[in-house]
Amino acid sequence: MKTKTILSGMRPTGKLHLGHLVGALNNWTKLQDEYNCFFMVADWHALMSEYENPSNIKKNSIEIVKDWVACGIDPEESVIFVQSMVPEHLELAMVFSFLTPLGWLERCTTYKEQLRELEGRMLATYGFLGYPVLQAADIALYKADAVPVGGDQLPHLELAREIIRKFHGLYKKEVFKEPAPILTKVSKLVGLDNRKMSKSYGNFISLSDEKDVVKKKVYSMYTDPNRVRADVPGKVEGNPVFIYHDIFNPNKSEVEDLKERYQKGKVGDIEVKEKLTVALNNFLDPIREKRGKITDKDASNILKHGALRARETAKRTIAEVKHCLHQIID
């Protein structure tokens, strides 16, 4: 019997890429054996920044579920659901909003960063300021003990703990758990151009990219900028092509041989990239194959089934919350 619960989520803002796999999904799949897992498509959170143009959210939500399942999230073992299909998230977020001081939200570093980064969108809204309040509700609703996240989400998790503590203090009842982060061991995967991997830079390989697309992307990868010719010794540290080889090429002696020759100026970029293309395509083949067998209908059935299961827990928690607030139940 698993006694502990985790919840994590992703916003359906586009196709998942290798960065998501290394930074989150690999961690999620492993945690399934140990924890009761809730994996949530955070469509309300996506809408907070995409509300002016929401037309892709539904399609992206279906695609993200295919990616998750193809990477090994088991829809029977874990609860896979969409946030908006479990209305209790908004109910709890509303309650949490009563007791969250504006100062906590205004100080949140991720909020300030996003306002700066997501240019061209009107994000100085009431809803967007409350982004972490909804995230706290997501976590608290399932009484999650822990949340697997990347380091960028730590401020949100800290806020969630503060909100939960405040609730417990006010109503003298420990309804929730104080969620701890589970950080991924692998740090962020760099983009193909050695910049931060980002949707707006288009510098990533998607999990659903076809073989020839992978090849094209690998051949466009950034290497050692000081190596102007193949006979010039190059650097392997911090070189994206070798970072990817280290992670995705299981043939360690091949990688060592390439590194050695690269450092001596005895191998061309083409050979290094050819071998990386093969490694990546071998790595992605089973994911692509599994993904190809999951229809839109399958994905939407997974979400319906998941919403039913998620709601069982969510409804129970909301009943407890209402009890604390002296509201009438049913």
Does residue 7 belong to the site contacting ligand TRP (CB under 6 A)? yes
Packing angle, helices 269-292 and 240-248, rounded to 10: 50
Would you list the DSSP string of 19-33?
HHIIIIIHHHHHHTT
Please state the closest distance from residue 304 (CB atom) to ligand TRP, in A.
Answer: 20
Q: In the complex, which residue's CB is closest to ligand TRP? A: 9
150-209 residues near ligand TRP, rule: CB under 6 A: 153
Please state the closest distance from residue 166 (CB atom) to ligand TRP, in A.
Answer: 18
* CB closer to ligand TRP out of 139 and 267: 139
Does residue 11 belong to the site contacting ligand TRP (CB under 6 A)? yes
Does residue 48 belong to the site contacting ligand TRP (CB under 6 A)? no
What is the side-by-side order of every strand in the sheet holding 146-149? Answer: 79-82, 36-41, 5-10, 146-149, 180-183
Please state the closest distance from residue 30 (CB atom) to ligand TRP, in A.
Answer: 17
CA angle 116, 121, 123 (to 5 degrees): 70
- Backbone phi, psi, residue 190, to 5°: -75, 160
Please state the closest distance from residue 146 (CB atom) to ligand TRP, in A.
Answer: 10
Exposure string for 9-44, b = 16+ CB within 10 A, e = fewer:
bbbbbebbbbbbbbbbbbbbbebbeebbbbbbbbbb
* CB closer to ligand TRP out of 12 and 234: 12
Does residue 10 belong to the site contacting ligand TRP (CB under 6 A)? yes
Candidate segments 2-10, 181-189, 239-247, 285-293, binder of ligand TRP by CB under 6 A: 2-10
Site string for ligand TRP, 114-153 (x = CB under 6 A): ---------------------x--xx-------x-x---x
Residues interacting with ligand TRP, by CB under 6 A?
7-11, 42, 45, 135, 138-139, 147, 149, 153
